[in-house]
Structure 1
Amino acid sequence: MGRPENPLDPAAGPVQRFACALRELRRGAGTPTYRTMARRTDFSVTTLAAAASGERLPSPAVLAAYVQACGGDVAEWERARRAAHREESARPPEEGEDTADPPYRGLARFEIDDSERFFGRERLTDELIRLVREHRHVIVLGPSGSGKSSLLRAGLVPRLRGADEEPPAAIRILTPGARPVHEHGKLFVPAPGPGETWVVVDQFEEVFTLCRDPRERAAFIELLLADGDGRLRVVLGARADFYSRCLEHPGLATVVRDASLPIGPMTRAELRAVIVRPAAAAGLVVERALTARLVEETADEPGGLPLLSHVLLETWRRRRGRTLTLDAHLAAGGLRDAIAQTAERVHSGLTQDQAELARRILLRLITPGEGAQDTRRPVDRAEFDHGEHGDRSDTDAVLDRLVRARLLTVDAGSVDLAHEALITAWPRLRAWIEADRERLMAHRRLTEAAALWEELERDSGAVYRGTRLSAAEERFCVPGGQDDFTAAEREFLAAGLAARADVHRACE
């Protein structure tokens, strides 16, 4: 009788479960020793014992020998082995297991330091460089997911810095936010010294989605259209569905007419470069079948670049050796389902309370569209501290899970969706938005009003009054209606209710 085998837990994974089944097959055959089985096959005792060790799946040849020695059906067991392999391939490494630097960015945009792995946009970068040299004000227009932010950061900025001509005095990158003049006005003052100052305004559509004050919006547009005494150049990046909004302003309409760069779909050669060249730079190989499939699918997918980048990252995480395989791609969910699969994997690992907290976090990061697509909404980390209705450590834990999964980004205290593709590609998030759309829109307006109230040092003239106060009271002054409010939002609404009560008392 040979040495007893180490115990296995079939719940530990498909490899261990398959090994347990092999051991059961051997027991059903009368538990022949591995030496006896070796005499019936061309494999050694060690090789046959390893097949049922639970450390890895056996090769087809070893499996066939093991099963034949135990009187089993080889074809049936080979089908089971393939199923176990697919299931195992679908399991990405545990957090911290893979310390290699990924060659793909996933949902995150390319940053300035990523220029060495920013492939497939060389032609477009050349066109943008030519345009910005000819015009002081340029706008880049493209649908969500076309790569505008990456083009500006990893394409334009490194080329400006490395130009043979006079280097820029400064390059400043910003996103407008809710108060663009208040937050960024000083960035339009040219830097001292020789050279021009470049201001890159990414996600310019925020002047329409986040900036609710028409006067502030108009002032910001006038600011960016100024020429800074001939020492300022401005490059805008905006979603194409805000094209008509840009035409509402005569100065912007002129920029759109004279100096706009539309971002269309990539050519197939450019898509191949996006897929293959980052892997090659990291010493990896992409299966030809996988490359062909991704090119075919992405070429017909509007705004498909974030989907492509994410599924490539997830395929890389499931790589075997140096090769990114079609099997690993399918295990990751494929082009259209990989984002949802990643998000659902994170969601399923949360407790019920954490899942509710994740829902609140994600919804606070979204501005529901009013006649336009829903957009992301970068927020200060402090907005997630709900005082008596939430614990910071719980919030930090959930944020950390979402950030590690590359669904969110955190930068200088600001939290944001990694990409708006998450809104459209994750059915659960879409369902949350649709179920809460009217309330979300009302909450966004209240958040902005509360921020202005705080900025005005809680001026009583800035609180809600009349019908706005009554509508907010009806919607939010119900059990649980303010659980996702910040302390400032609760105090803002309470101040409006208190002011109304004071008026009623004065009239009695």
Structure 2
Amino acid sequence: MAAALDTPQVLGTKGELQTTNRVLLEATLRRGTRGLVEAVRQARIPREDNVLVVADQFEELFRFRRSRPAENSRNEAVAFVKLLLEAAQQDEVSIYVVLTMRSDFTGDCMDFPGLPEAVNAGQYLVPRMTRDELRSAITGPVAVGGGNIRHRLVLRLLNDFGDQSDQLPVLQHVLMRTWDHWERHRQPGQAIDIKDYEAAGCFRNALSIHAEEAYEEAGKNHSPRIIERMFKSLTDTFSDPRGVRRPTSVQDLAAICQVPEIEVIQIIEVFRSPKCCFLMPPYSVPLNSRSVIDLAHESLMRRWTRLASWAEEERASAAIYDRLSQAAGWLAEGTAGLWRTPELEL
């Protein structure tokens, strides 16, 4: 949060304090539940100005709490939520807080005192797009790009859309792939048609086919085993069966894959190229040891067949490890004995 606040458009400063401002902001934020309020108040922004804090993909806080050492992550997550709640509830300075998160994570708010009440008081559930809105989402970008799309393909896309929660990013991807195929093979005056859509793989397979192409491209110069380890490190279906991303630094990925960092970066570059965008940060952001790599969207875990298989293997391995660890603890306590059949038949 200190990094986000320390920008010229928000609470950033110039002059002698420019280099130390972020440190001061972080110290203020950590001082107590009123840290955000005090940081804004000390910045002395004009009275008529408001501060809007947007915590996008707020469900990542729940992942953060699970992926770090229990006590530290719990304390930091609770402290962060308290900062936001206090800032939203006070009326000394004009601070507004907006949280966005997947609706299936709403129940996780119960773990934070005061958060369910705040969510209930200001909740807005974004409705699903209507059929007409989806039609506009399909035809609009095509028109902006200077193309034409056949009416029968629009109907096919609307019918194939389905009702899963991750369909919009999949729609975006399949439209991009359909457009690319049309651009490569079109004849003068020819509109985008069903043959282009089917060549791209349709809703069911377009993303998986594209990811496989990137996998094969990366595999030309790198071991498939390294790519597998890297993507297994970026996904988590064990701690949360819904499947969540597991952002990991380049340095940690290299250690997990047991290869130099430059090799990990080279693989990442293939999967985050402008034509793929499967990994974040965007292609325009230079990578280094501390860069945090993340899946662009959870739909990749469900739509890329190979990654779904890897994630299931990792989930099963994690379950076995957890079971072994628990059994070892019981053995050390003297509350259980050595495993015998059928326990040994894992």
Give the TM-score of the pair, scaled to structure 2.
0.69
Q: Distance in 1 between matches of 2:120 and 2:135?
A: 32
Q: Distance in 2 between matches of 1:354 and 1:224?
A: 45
Map Cα deviations across residues 310-346 of structure 1 (whole Å, 9 max, x no partner). Answer: 1001011111267332211110100121111111222
In structure 2, the residue matched to 1:193 is 45
Shift of 1:247: 3.1
> For 1:233-312, what aligned pairs fall within 5 Å after superposition?
233-312=96-175
Match of 1:379 among 237, 248, 265: 248
In structure 2, the residue matched to 1:340 is 208
Higher relative contact order (CA 8 A, sep 6+): 1
Q: Secondary structure at the match of 1:219?
A: helix
Partners of 1:402 and 1:408 within 8 A in 2: yes
Partners of 1:171 and 1:200 within 8 A in 2: no
Q: Distance in 1 between matches of 2:238 and 2:54?
A: 25
Q: Distance in 2 between matches of 1:183 and 1:403?
A: 35
Partners of 1:199 and 1:235 within 8 A in 2: yes
Which amino acid is 2:269 matched to?
D
Q: Distance in 2 between matches of 1:241 and 1:363?
A: 23
Match of 2:229 among 340, 360, 383: 360
Does the C-alpha gap of structure 1 residues 236 and 357 become closer, same or farther in structure 2, counting only changes over 3 Å? same
Does the C-alpha gap of structure 1 residues 336 and 182 become closer, same or farther in structure 2, counting only changes over 3 Å? farther
Does the C-alpha gap of structure 1 residues 371 and 306 become closer, same or farther in structure 2, counting only changes over 3 Å? same
In structure 1, the residue matched to 2:77 is 217
In structure 2, the residue matched to 1:414 is 292
Instruction: Tell me whether 354-363 or 389-398 shows the greater mean CA deviation.
Output: 389-398
5+ residue gaps, structure 2: 1-8, 13-24, 67-72, 286-290, 323-327, 333-346
Does the C-alpha gap of structure 1 residues 402 and 182 become closer, same or farther in structure 2, counting only changes over 3 Å? farther
Q: Secondary structure at the match of 2:100?
A: strand
Q: Distance in 1 between matches of 2:100 and 2:177?
A: 28
- Percent identical pairs in the alignment equals 28
Q: Distance in 1 between matches of 2:136 and 2:11?
A: 28
In structure 1, the residue matched to 2:338 is none
Which amino acid is 1:337 matched to?
N
In structure 1, the residue matched to 2:86 is 226
In structure 2, the residue matched to 1:326 is 194
Does the C-alpha gap of structure 1 residues 293 and 196 become closer, same or farther in structure 2, counting only changes over 3 Å? same
Partners of 2:178 and 2:196 within 8 A in 1: yes
Map Cα deviations across residues 383-414 of structure 1 (whole Å, 9 max, x no partner). Answer: 22239931333222211111122211225533
Q: Distance in 2 between matches of 1:295 and 1:171?
A: 45
Partners of 2:222 and 2:267 within 8 A in 1: no
Partners of 2:236 and 2:311 within 8 A in 1: no
Q: Which one has a bigger Cα radius of gyration? A: 1
Q: Distance in 2 between matches of 1:171 and 1:323?
A: 50
Shift of 1:296: 1.7
Q: Distance in 1 between matches of 2:279 and 2:257?
A: 25
In structure 1, the residue matched to 2:313 is 435
Aligned residues: 273
